[in-house]
Amino acid sequence: MTKLQEAFTGENTFIGFTVAGDPSIEKSVEYVVAMANAGADVVELGIPFSDPVADGPVIQAADLRAFAAGITTDKIFEMVATIRQQTDVPLVFLSYANKIFDYGYDRFYQRCEELDVSGTVIPDLPVEERDELVPIAQKHGVAVIPLVAPTSGERVAKIVSGSQGFIYLVSSLGVTGMRDNVANDLTTTIEKIKAVTDTPVAVGFGIHTPEQVKQMNQIADGAIVGSGIVKLIEEQPNNATDAITKYVQEMKGLAQVK
């Protein structure tokens, strides 16, 4: 069992997301550590990109703030090195394919291995193109986490074949962002996934309340929350630690929701 899979062995598994370098490298480190200390089972770090096609306006704005603060891929790895001095929480990068290609596949995944980054989520990497990247990631012990969408249909088995870490199940069509209603027809897709793999399934896109996290944990193995956390940073860019701590504790069921 990998470090990522071990993160799914408890109850109410929660994956928190933030954009690396938003609003600054120093604060980004602080907020990742705050999520870990508050009980996040996994932290997903977004690598800012100029054209994040899967992301809604909240995360797009965070990407721009990170760019304005001078973030680069090398600085993100330096940031992770600082995080690793304070927590061993499982870390996953969310990156668009061009960022990894530009950095160099082997160089990128070697740095992931050195800094104990467990996986990468690549929203714009179709299953037909992943063979050029997956063997390199696996050589360095890093999972390439597949995304399954509500429209994946008969492609589910192919998409999750050979999966490691966890499977990212997109809860609804469209881009990331907070939604009042999360699709309630995910069970069929989860059954299709479970029929062909034992890899844990985490549901993301739109989830932002403790009730939704609990609901996703009842039908899947975990829940991913991104825009809800990023919005807290947008509202209090340099003073969001307490708000993030409280929010994550609420998502984990460790604090009362007021």
Q: Return d(Cα 36, Cα 220) in angstroms, integer.
A: 22
**How long a stretch of residues is the chain?**
258
116-140 tens-digit pLDDT: 999 999 999 999 999 999 999 999 9
Q: Which residue has the tokens 């990247």?
A: 133
Confidence class for position 173, pLDDT limits 50, 70, 90: low
Q: Any idea what DSSP says for residue 8?
A: T
Q: Any idea what DSSP says for residue 55?
A: -
Q: Any idea what DSSP says for residue 152?
A: -
Q: Where are the alpha helices (DSSP H) in 199-240?
A: 210-219, 227-235
Question: Per-residue pLDDT for 204 more than 90?
Answer: yes
Q: Return d(Cα 106, Cα 142) in angstroms, integer.
A: 11
Residues recognised as catalytic: 44, 55
> Angle 227-145-212 (CA atoms, 0-180°, nearest 5)?
40
231-253 tens-digit pLDDT: 999 999 999 999 999 999 999 98
Q: Domain limits of the chain?
A: 12-244
Would you call 225 exposed, middle or buried from its count of C-beta atoms within 10 A (0-12, 13-18, 19+)?
A: buried
Cis peptide before 23 (omega within 30 of 0): yes
Question: Per-residue pLDDT for 155 more than 90?
Answer: yes
Global pTM value? 0.93
Closest CA to 48 of 31, 24, 32, 83: 24
1-35 tens-digit pLDDT: 789 989 998 889 999 999 999 999 999 999 999 99
Residue 28, C-beta contacts closer than 8 angstroms, at least 6 positions apart: 18, 19, 20, 21, 22, 66, 79
Provide DSSP, 81-127: HHHHTT----EEEE--HHHHHHH-HHHHHHHHHHTTEEEEE-TT--G
Choose which CATH entry (3.20.20.70, 3.40.50.2300, 3.90.1150.10, 3.40.50.10860) describes domain 12-244. Answer: 3.20.20.70
